[in-house]
A and B are shown apart, each in its own frame.
Chain A
Amino acid sequence: MSDSIVVKTVEELKDAPEEYQAAVSKLVISHAINELYGAQVFDEPAIAYAPTPYAKWLTCRVAMEEYGHHVRFKQLGTQMGIAEDRMLPGAGKKPLSIFEFPLKNWEEFVAIKLLADLAEILQVEDLLHCTFHPLRNLARATMPEERFHAQFGEDFSAELVKTPDGKARLQAAVNEYYPYLPSFFGGSKSKNNEIFRKWKIKQRTNDEMREDYVRRATEVAAKYGLTLPEIRQAA
């Protein structure tokens, strides 16, 4: 596609082509905002719904890690010269549709950790070989925590499906939230994704990631006897 470049430091980024700089900035801004939305809309409110002190403190830790991801992406963005306002919600960027629905119960949070954090894992995985090394390194630091959050979803799913009532409530939450998740991966003909791949900032097309996500989500849901509803078309 193009001659690839490798940018090892934030300082070197200043000498990179403008298109490369703009693409990296878009990704950093998007991650900073979405991590913050996730923490504010889902993780922090979930503490109140958690059923025991064990689950409450575990949720506290997850929320703090999600806020921490926002802080890390924002710190990188600041080093890159991005204004703080652009990395906070309300900066003119529309949030992902899933963030428009306030959390209503514990089962919804478990479903989100099980399935939405899996989508987050795929997004971070795609940055593990990023040619902008500060972003690659940040993705590597974030990955173990994202995996733990998805495991949190699995562990509490395993608890909930032990009773027919718990399983029904979890399935209802999956039915409500899952349809919004495949569109996380962006449109099939995304110009941004084309640029990300041109510069090897990201590796895969949106459709490849979406297909992989649907396969992995189906597998993880099946592990707990859950089914996934039909998905909406990507934007």
Chain B
Amino acid sequence: MSPTVAVPGPQFFSLRADVRAASWFAALGEPLTEGDHSDAAAYATALGFNALEIGQARDWPDAERLLKAPDWAPAWWDREETLRQQLLTEAKGRYPERALWSSLTELTTEAGEVVHGKAATAAARMGNAAPASIHVAAGAASQAVYHLALARLTKQTASPFESKFRLFAAGRWPLGVLESRLVLF
């Protein structure tokens, strides 16, 4: 087993810069671009879903309806969760556990405040969002930052967490896989 080393500061520095530079929720409801399609396809393929259609939520109520559907299929969530656990185990083998935990907690706390504000701005601009949905959006985006941190710390350059982050960075919110569609907002 290789000896553990301190959590690399430069990696977190670049991650923080990416978080600050991202256009969080700026493109919600806008027509999808070629880049969005390409990142969405990369994300779905890396998660093990092939030939998914790319769908779109029109507005906040539409997104809320999709996210609250009681018959949602949890496969995509479960695949992300399995991957998260694998990466976390690997990261724990590379870095001292407390330093890793503190770095991730501080990063997601800082990112959480940024994305919460951006989600609130997007909701105010578009209108008709339930107040709790701003927290939901911030939860999804903070989780994406946490996932990205794990992928970068374990040097997984082709991780679905990289392409998911790119979707968020481009102002989108990937809402998940519903039937045979990956739905973006």
Contact = CB atoms under 8 A, between A and B. Distances in A.
Chain B associates with chain A: yes
Interface of A: 48, 51-54, 56-62, 64-65, 67-68, 70-71, 148, 152, 155
Contact of B109 (A68, A152, A155): A68
Contacts of A51: 70
A148 B120 CA distance: 15
Given A58-B136, A148-B135, A53 B112 contact: no
Nearest to A88: B98
Interface stretch (B7-15, B48-56, B61-69, B155-163): B61-69
Interface string B27-45: 0000000000000000000
Contacts of A67: 105, 108-109
A53 B132 contact: no
A123 to B, nearest CB: 20
Contact of B138 (A54, A61, A71, A152): A61
Contacts of B105: 67, 70-71
Contact of B175 (A53, A65, A68, A152): A53
A205 to B, nearest CB: 33
Contacts of B67: 52-54, 57
B139 interface: yes
A41 B143 CA distance: 18
Contacts of B106: 71
In the A-B complex, list the 7 residue pairs whose CB atoms are closest, starting with the nearest.
A61-B139, A60-B139, A57-B139, A54-B67, A68-B109, A61-B135, A57-B140
Interface of B: 64, 67-70, 72, 77, 81, 105-106, 108-109, 112-113, 116, 132-133, 135-140, 142-143, 175-176
A93 to B, nearest CB: 17
A53 B81 CA distance: 13
A201 B77 CA distance: 45
Given A64-B112, A71-B106, A53 B64 contact: no
Nearest to B140: A57
Given A52-B67, A53-B176, A64 B72 contact: no
Contacts of A64: 108-109, 112, 139, 142
Contacts of B113: 68
Contacts of A59: 139
A59 B106 CA distance: 18
Nearest to B142: A64
Contacts of A60: 139-140, 142-143
12 contacts: A48-B81, A53-B72, A53-B175, A54-B64, A54-B133, A58-B135, A61-B138, A64-B139, A64-B142, A68-B109, A70-B105, A148-B135
Given A52-B67, A53-B77, A58-B135, A68 B176 contact: no
A121 to B, nearest CB: 17
Interface centre among B139, B142, B143 (most CB of A within 10 A): B139
Contacts of A53: 67, 72, 77, 175-176
Contacts of A61: 112, 116, 135-136, 138-139, 142
Contacts of B81: 48
A170 to B, nearest CB: 17
A4 B133 CA distance: 44
Given A57-B143, A59-B139, A60-B139, 7 more contacts: A51-B70, A54-B68, A58-B139, A60-B143, A64-B112, A64-B142, A71-B105
Nearest to A61: B139
Nearest to A53: B67
Contacts of A70: 105
Given A61-B112, A61-B142, A71-B106, A52 B70 contact: yes
